[in-house]
């Protein structure tokens, strides 16, 4: 079982060595409950997976990525993605439904298949965020990510050309794409002597740091960041720090501000000797 979400099909349980008598005993001691025909749940199943089961489908697409611990854009974080059989009637529910000709024995699609679903049904930015998160969390390899992209029609492959193995969070992916789509060269996860590792350098000298969490900065980190910024400035770098809110809840305004910064062409400046 790839992910233990506390929901098991009878087939899975039989393959794990539990016969009917063993299952009845687990039910009698309340370690399992019959959720519906052919399915059992533990006392604390994954709520999204249980909802998907009750709707007649499986957890898939972005929701399967969420269950696997991938970075999920906040706009999609609480939206349920359910994969239904091809000819199953569409339920009346607040969820995003996709269809599949074959469903897995378990409640959740494997991560490889869920990424295929994201690539097929969602915009390139969302697809790259999950794909790069899967690489960062070692759920898939970088080469396998490219193989998933190559499975798509050519017109869908082109917007995914910026797939990169350097992003540590979806915040970095979104911000990096902003620069790449404007033909600004970007290097991710760069080490600057005297400063340390930075999320990315746009152009020659614009350091961009991105918060990957809504609540992130301790007092110690705050002061360390300012110390690093001063060192970066000494070597001729400009530093922009983007908060989680700026990247995810104020993105339109943030893009305008970043565009204005690019118009100044300061990111093209060379560095001081010794940097």
pLDDT tens by residue, 177-216: 999 999 999 999 999 988 899 999 999 999 999 987 765 5
Examine the pLDDT at 69 and tell me if it is beyond 70.
yes
Examine the pLDDT at 47 and tell me if it is beyond 90.
yes
d(CA 94, CA 157): 30
Cα 230 versus chain centre, distance: 32
Nearest alpha carbon to residue 118 among 145, 138, 87:
145
CATH superfamily of 167-268: VSR Endonuclease (3.40.960.10)
Confidence category of residue 93, pLDDT binned at 50, 70, 90: confident
Confidence category of residue 269, pLDDT binned at 50, 70, 90: low
Give the angle 76-81-84 at the CA atoms, nearest 5°: 165
- Domain map (residue ranges) of the chain: 7-150, 167-268
d(CA 191, CA 170): 20
Measured in residues, the chain has a length of 275
Token representation of residue 141: 């390899």
Q: What is the pTM of this model?
A: 0.89
Specify the pLDDT at position 236.
83
Examine the pLDDT at 35 and tell me if it is beyond 90.
yes
Q: Are 108 and 66 in contact (CB under 8 A)?
A: no
Residues in Cβ contact with 10 at an 8 Å cutoff, skipping those fewer than 6 apart: 23, 38, 39, 40
Exposed (0-12), middle (13-18) or buried (19+): which is 192, by Cβ within 10 Å?
middle
Q: Are 43 and 15 in contact (CB under 8 A)?
A: no
Rg over CA atoms, the chain: 23
Q: Inter-axis angle of helices 170-180 and 251-263, to 10 degrees?
A: 40
Name the average pLDDT for the chain: 92
Instruction: Taking residues 222-229, report their average pLDDT.
Output: 74
d(CA 199, CA 189): 5
């Amino acid at each position: 079982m790839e992910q233990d979400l506390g929901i098991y099909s009878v087939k899975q349980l039989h393959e794990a060595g539990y016969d009917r008598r063993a299952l009845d005993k687990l039910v009698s001691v309340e370690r399992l409950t019959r959720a519906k025909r052919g399915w059992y749940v533990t006392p604390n199943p994954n709520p999204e997976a249980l909802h998907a089961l009750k709707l007649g489908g499986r957890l898939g697409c972005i929701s399967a990525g969420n269950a696997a611990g991938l970075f999920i854009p906040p706009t999609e974080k609480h939206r349920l993605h359910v994969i239904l059989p091809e000819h199953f009637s569409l339920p009346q529910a607040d969820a995003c439904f996709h269809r599949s000709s074959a469903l897995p024995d378990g409640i959740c699609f494997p991560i490889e298949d869920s990424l295929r679903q994201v690539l097929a049904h969602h915009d390139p930015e969302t697809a790259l965020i999950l794909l790069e998160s899967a690489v960062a969390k070692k759920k898939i390899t970088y080469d396998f990510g490219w193989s998933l992209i190559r499975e798509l029609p050519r017109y869908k492959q082109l917007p995914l050309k910026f797939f990169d193995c350097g992003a540590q969070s979806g915040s970095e992916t979104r911000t990096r794409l902003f620069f790449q789509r404007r033909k600004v060269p970007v290097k991710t996860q760069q080490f600057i002597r005297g400063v340390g590792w930075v999320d990315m350098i746009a152009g020659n000298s614009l350091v961009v740091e991105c918060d990957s969490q809504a609540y992130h900065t301790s007092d110690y980190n705050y002061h360390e960041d300012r110390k690093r910024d001063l060192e970066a400035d000494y070597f001729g770098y400009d530093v922009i720090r983007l908060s989680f809110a700026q990247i995810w809840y104020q993105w339109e305004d943030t893009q305008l501000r970043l565009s204005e910064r690019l118009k100044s062409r300061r990111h093209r400046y060379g560095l001081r000797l010794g940097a």
